[in-house]
Chains A and B, each alone.
Chain A
């Protein structure tokens, strides 16, 4: 058992540990929905198969690529500030934010399409569907909706990071906030990596 040193300020390792623990709680939050997904899929395998065919795997795949690239740019931005290149770091964060916007735009069109087909919880069309399909679309909207909320929160966080980079408050020595922002962004990415196959690919 090693002893830890007595520290008076929030150092980088302490701050990161707090962030990792918070990310665990986020995973468990989605974990509850994954349990519901597993139970409902076991109960209604046929309906889930039918309902999943309604989703557009192309848009889903596009969004996966968009998020993966944005994860790369946010990681590159961190490397840039570590090498003391704040302008490149700011640019890369900006690209990440653009990609987040692209993701949300795709999501908007995707949801909009579902709404135009009256495929939303409580709609008249939804009520005529078999039980399993109702559950599938309920899960689809709740999971992607909660995920989209996380994209927005992550976007706000990264915007703050961008302004702090601009003002020099995040710099080569102190970049804990940027590192934690990047970690959060990777979580957003990671959860999507699970949602994409569960909802779009397993038909």
Chain B
């Protein structure tokens, strides 16, 4: 990795030391963030190809390119990679690491060595996930949710996949712990809690979910491993266990995990809207407290995944009610982002395009989430393609587009170079079109009764399936366009100034790329985070 050619700053975090080992042993939060970025990108591309393969299989009814068993294996590893390796660490591990210390005026995170250790734990988990595919025996085919009794009985490499998820969870906990302590202890003088930018705030809410919810999935996966290896059958009805109990324990973590994915994306767009409107964020406090409210209420809605699994009526309406409540803070945020743009000098650059499409896709995902959270409509749509479309609108349309917004926003800061804006705009247009062509038909297919996770379907679904498969190709073309633009310009792009977007948060006040220790002298914060007094707003 040779970045010596960057002339803007003679010595920065990219070139102050060179060689592969200087990266693999670096405790610099920015380098660790990039390590995460590269590993996540590789896994994302692999899992996206797997997704495309599934869509090719579904282009026509019947077996086209793979058997049913292969399809089961592919949707399982697609889910495991996307959820545990890409989306959950995603924004926090990449942009949280690179930017959190800079945005609060610190030299590094609270525990730099632990931070590097987390990356190694993460890579170990990711490699175990790969190993489950190539080890002797059958590839795991239980879906990323590992529902018992199937996952406890089936003869495939489930134990390896469970261990992978356990190890990845451990990495997630350590990152969350590091961020909480960093935010509590490392803020620059004058950076009070409510002078902190909104991305760090969202990371703070996320980190609490990470450390409070992840241990539950850890012990739950251990219980399934114990059931498979030691015959301790807490979920095995033949021994008196309860399979529905597994679903409860699983979703106690995995629903809050949805907020681990989406909250940092909300933080990212909360940074982008003020910068590209050159206007203070509308409703700073409501955004802060809605993040905390989402983290809190999101902890108690897990039952809405199990409306058809057998629960008392009281439990069901309680979970349904809370599901509707958790939509309120999200709606507050959407309202605030739109109001931030209102009356601002809106500059439609790629980061803002991605941020606006985030709102569009997230809103569709959110409303269909309410459809699923209603007791009556849930019966109709449960386990159909409607669910798949809904969570791809949230996870990919929300977190994914938030991630793309973040990389386009902070790219010139990280590399000191600018990507091709026109190229980025075109890639965005293809990506956005492909996304909707791919996932929107799945809502309709789901309503018509197309079950999820089936490799074959009734010929009456063919039109929708075909449109959806075509969308997958468009989406992949958009992804290739976007990623190649970014990769190509890391070394060949035009030199970016320190503050190309006229942002006002701390990261824009230092050179691009940032120096090894971020700040020459400790910054002193004397005002709120989003005060625009540059000539562009006067």
Q: Does B506 touch A at the CB level, under 8 Å?
A: no
B460, CB-defined interface residue at 8 Å: no
Residues of chain A lying within 8 A (CB to CB) of residue B181? 14, 17-18, 21
Cβ contacts B203-224/A at 8 Å (1 or 0 each): 0000000011111101110110
Identify which of residues 32-66 in chain A touch chain B, using a CB-to-CB cut-off of 8 Å. Answer: 32-33, 35-36, 39-40, 43-44
Interface segment out of the listed B227-235, B265-273, B477-485: B227-235
Chain A residue with the shortest CB-CB distance to B208: A21
Contact call B186/A4, Cβ cutoff below 8 A: yes
**B178 interfacial by beta-carbon distance below 8 Å:** yes
Decide: A6 and B215 in contact? CB cutoff 8 A. no
B231 contacts which chain A residues (CB < 8 A)? 121-122
The stretch of B105-113, B440-448, B493-501, B530-538 in contact with A is B105-113
B contact residues around A138 at 8 Å (CB): 226, 232-234, 239
Enumerate chain A residues within 8 angstroms of B222, measured Cβ to Cβ: 146
CB B490 to nearest CB in A, in angstroms, measures 31
B192 touches A44 (CB 8 A): no
Is B136 close to A, CB under 8 A? no
Tell me if B249 counts as interface (CB < 8 A to partner A).
yes
* Interface status of B352 (Cβ within 8 A of chain A): no
Is the C-beta of A25 less than 8 angstroms from some C-beta in chain B? yes
Name the B residues within 8 Å of A5 (CB-CB).
189
Interface size classification for chain B: 35 or more
Residues of A135-190 contacting chain B, CB below 8 A: 135, 138-139, 141-142, 146
User: CB distance A25 to B214 under 8 Å?
Assistant: yes
Instruction: Please report the C-alpha to C-alpha distance between residue A79 and residue B219 in the assembled complex, in whole angstroms.
Output: 35
Is the CB of A30 closer than 8 A to any CB of chain B? Answer: yes
Contact B230 A14 (CB under 8 A): no
Q: Which of A13, A36, A43, A142 gathers most chain B CB within 10 Å?
A: A36
Complex Cα–Cα for A28 and B181 (A): 19
A22 to B215, CA, bound (A): 10
Tally of A-B Cβ pairs under 8 angstroms: 118
Q: Which residues of A contact B107 (CB under 8 A)?
A: 8
Does A202 belong to the interface (CB within 8 Å)? Answer: no
Residues of B within 8 A of A25 (CB): 173, 177, 211-212, 214-215
When the two chains form their complex, are residues A6 and B234 in contact, meaning their CB atoms are under 8 A apart? no
Q: What's the nearest-Cβ distance from chain A to residue B96, in Å?
A: 16
Contacting A at CB under 8 A, from B187-203, are 187-194
Bound: A10/B114 CA distance, A: 12
- CB proximity of A50 to chain B, nearest CB, Å: 13
- 18 A-B Cβ contacts within 8 A? A4-B186, A5-B189, A6-B189, A14-B186, A18-B114, A22-B177, A24-B212, A28-B213, A28-B215, A31-B216, A32-B219, A43-B240, A121-B230, A121-B232, A131-B240, A134-B239, A138-B226, A142-B226
Known interface pairs A6-B187, A29-B216, A35-B248; 15 further A-B residue pairs with C-beta atoms within 8 A, sorted by A's residue number: A3-B192, A6-B522, A17-B181, A17-B184, A18-B110, A18-B114, A18-B177, A22-B173, A28-B216, A40-B240, A131-B240, A134-B240, A135-B239, A135-B241, A138-B233
Q: Which residues of B contact A (CB under 8 A)?
A: 105-107, 110-111, 114, 173, 177-178, 180-181, 184-194, 211-216, 218-220, 222-223, 226, 230-234, 239-242, 245, 248-249, 522
Give me the 7 closest cross-chain CB pairs, A-B, nearest first: A131-B240, A122-B231, A32-B219, A28-B215, A29-B215, A138-B232, A121-B232
